[in-house]
């Protein structure tokens, strides 16, 4: 079979990724030009770890965005002549170069890794965001009010945290559970938290200014209901928002397992912050408890929460890879990195066709590394403040 050399492989990969290089260059130029106005993000470019974290994460974000342009083939397309093809092999009929070789089902490894980035960067950040909403919404009153509310919520959080994570995921994503209404019921509950959070946020801020309050509430309810119907019931009338059942189950499992950790962090931060003078001043002014929690305490807890969010996206990425490796993630045809690692991890496969398992593993490792570097830089900057 005709192949290209090492330089041809490297050159081909660099050429296919041209949209990523263009976006990264624009990102760096714009950041350096407006750095003083960019707050915490601009400060990241003052350290090597921050720059490396932004560039690595940016690389994979732009790869996911432009996956259809970068990948030469659909990740599920099979070309029989390219089964376990070596990197740089050229498909005889189409003359397409399999830059990172072919897998055991004759699919392009490069295309699958690129589209796998889209799967990971769709589920991991979104699930982390919902987990943050759930943890913040429950952690604020637990830390602020204490007493019976704190006891009940802390007990429920500790109950989930006490359960082994992998076993918990196995129970939530196992086929017997996936075919029941349980995941959809849990999704329906979790997706209510962002809607309730923003409604309370706007109400406490603008309750004395109805001309601003009602547009914000209307926008929150309309957008929230649209997204809610599309994700939970797969009934978006516009057909824009949709999620596959197996993706929804994984999403729910990640939110369920991550929310108690966020809850404990928020609760601890609130218990510390509520002793500050500005909280006492707000109470003296007669502000409501939810106004104090959302507009006095939460902004002052943003530093640790942003750092935790970056780390949690990395943990979620690893968990998605672990689930895929054990066959509990997406379908067997999915290009997600965990499934790709599982497909290439067979003893004979690894011994003879190393690239099929190593390539997605390196991709997963690099993304998690970038997120950890970003979290470290954010932690350093928050300590300076």
- Is residue 216 domain-resident? yes
Report field, pTM of the whole predicted structure over 0.85: yes
pLDDT, position 71:
92
Residues 291 and 378 grouped into a single domain? no
Q: Under a CB-based contact definition with an 8 Å cutoff, are residues 366 and 337 in contact?
A: no
- pLDDT tens-digit readout, 32-84: 998 888 888 888 888 888 999 999 999 999 999 999 999 999 888 888 888 88
Q: Under a CB-based contact definition with an 8 Å cutoff, are residues 376 and 49 in contact?
A: yes
Residues 94 and 124 grouped into a single domain? no
- Is residue 101 domain-resident? yes
CB contact set of 114 (below 8 Å; sequence gap of 6+): 63, 67, 70, 71, 75
Residues 233 and 371 grouped into a single domain? no
Domain range enclosing 233 = 120-314
Residues 155 and 272 grouped into a single domain? yes
| pLDDT at 274 > cutoff 80 | yes
pLDDT confidence tier of residue 367, bands split at 50, 70 and 90 = very high
- Is residue 278 domain-resident? yes
Per mean pLDDT, which range of 29-33, 98-102, 192-196, 322-326 is the poorest?
322-326
Q: Under a CB-based contact definition with an 8 Å cutoff, are residues 297 and 140 in contact?
A: yes
Range 5-33 average pLDDT: 93
Q: Who has greater pLDDT, 381 or 216? A: 216
| pLDDT at 250 > cutoff 90 | no
Residues 296 and 309 grouped into a single domain? yes
- The shares of helix, strand and coil residues in the chain, as percent rounded to the nearest 5, are 75, 0, 20
- Is residue 344 domain-resident? no
How much is the mean pLDDT over the chain?
86
- Is residue 345 domain-resident? no
- Percent of the chain predicted with pLDDT > 70: 94
- Is residue 349 domain-resident? no
- Is residue 58 domain-resident? yes
pLDDT, position 178:
57
Q: Who has greater pLDDT, 280 or 168? A: 280
Residues 133 and 153 grouped into a single domain? yes
Return the closest-CA partner of residue 317 out of 305, 329, 331, 301. 329
Per mean pLDDT, which range of 5-19, 63-77, 142-156, 351-365 is the poorest?
351-365
Kindly report the CATH number assigned to the domain that includes residue 249.
Answer: 1.10.3720
pLDDT, position 160:
86
**Burial track 74-105 (b if 16+ CB lie within 10 A, e otherwise):** ebeeebeebebbebbbbbeeeebbbbbbbbeb
C-alpha 285, offset from chain centre? 39
Residues 33 and 143 grouped into a single domain? no
Torsion 346-352-353-359 (CA) sign: positive
| pLDDT at 90 > cutoff 80 | yes
pLDDT confidence tier of residue 326, bands split at 50, 70 and 90 = confident
pLDDT confidence tier of residue 334, bands split at 50, 70 and 90 = confident
Residues 67 and 206 grouped into a single domain? no
Token digits of residue 245: 């059942």
| pLDDT at 252 > cutoff 80 | yes
| pLDDT at 301 > cutoff 60 | yes
pLDDT confidence tier of residue 349, bands split at 50, 70 and 90 = low
Residues 82 and 170 grouped into a single domain? no
Residues 57 and 108 grouped into a single domain? yes
Range 2-6 average pLDDT: 82
| pLDDT at 165 > cutoff 80 | no
Residues 132 and 93 grouped into a single domain? no
Residues 38 and 155 grouped into a single domain? no
Residues linked to residue 98 through DSSP beta bridges, in sequence order? 89
**Tally of domains in the chain:** 2
pLDDT, position 176:
60
pLDDT confidence tier of residue 1, bands split at 50, 70 and 90 = low
pLDDT confidence tier of residue 177, bands split at 50, 70 and 90 = low
């Amino acid at each position: 079979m005709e192949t290209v050399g090492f330089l041809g492989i490297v050159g081909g990969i660099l050429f296919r990724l041209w949209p990523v290089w263009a976006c990264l260059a624009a990102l760096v130029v714009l950041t350096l030009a407006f750095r003083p106005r960019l707050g915490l993000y601009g400060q990241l470019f003052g350290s090597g770890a921050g720059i490396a974290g932004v560039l690595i994460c940016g690389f994979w974000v732009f790869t996911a965005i432009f996956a259809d342009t970068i990948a030469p083939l659909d990740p599920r397309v099979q070309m029989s002549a390219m089964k376990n093809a070596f990197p740089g092999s050229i498909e005889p009929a189409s003359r397409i170069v399999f830059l990172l070789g072919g897998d055991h089902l004759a699919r392009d490894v490069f295309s699958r890794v690129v589209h796998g980035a889209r799967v990971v960067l769709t589920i991991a950040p979104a699930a982390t965001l919902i987990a943050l909403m759930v943890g913040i919404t429950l952690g604020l009153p637990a830390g602020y009010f204490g007493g019976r509310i704190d006891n009940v919520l802390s007990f429920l959080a500790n109950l989930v945290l006490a359960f082994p994570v992998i076993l918990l995921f196995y129970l939530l994503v196992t086929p017997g559970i996936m075919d029941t209404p349980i995941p959809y019921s849990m999704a329906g509950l979790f997706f209510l938290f962002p809607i309730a959070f923003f409604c309370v946020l706007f109400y406490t801020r603008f309750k004395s200014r109805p001309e601003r309050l009602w547009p914000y509430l209307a926008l929150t309810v309309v957008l929230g209901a649209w997204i809610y119907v599309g994700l939970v019931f797969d009934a978006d009338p516009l057909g824009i928002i949709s999620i596959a059942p197996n993706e929804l189950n994984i999403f729910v499992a990640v939110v369920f397992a991550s929310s108690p950790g966020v809850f404990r962090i928020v609760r601890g931060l609130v218990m510390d912050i509520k002793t500050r003078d500005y909280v006492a001043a707000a109470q003296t002014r007669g502000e409501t408890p939810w106004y104090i929690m959302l507009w006095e305490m939460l902004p002052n807890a943003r530093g640790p929460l942003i750092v935790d969010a970056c780390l949690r996206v990395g943990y979620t990425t690893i968990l998605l890879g672990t689930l895929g490796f054990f066959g509990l993630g997406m379908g067997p045809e999915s290009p997600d990195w965990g499934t790709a690692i599982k497909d290439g991890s067979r003893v004979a496969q690894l011994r003879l066709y190393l690239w099929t398992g190593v390539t997605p593993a390196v991709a997963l490792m690099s993304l998690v590394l970038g997120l950890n570097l970003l979290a470290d830089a954010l932690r350093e900057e928050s300590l300076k403040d």
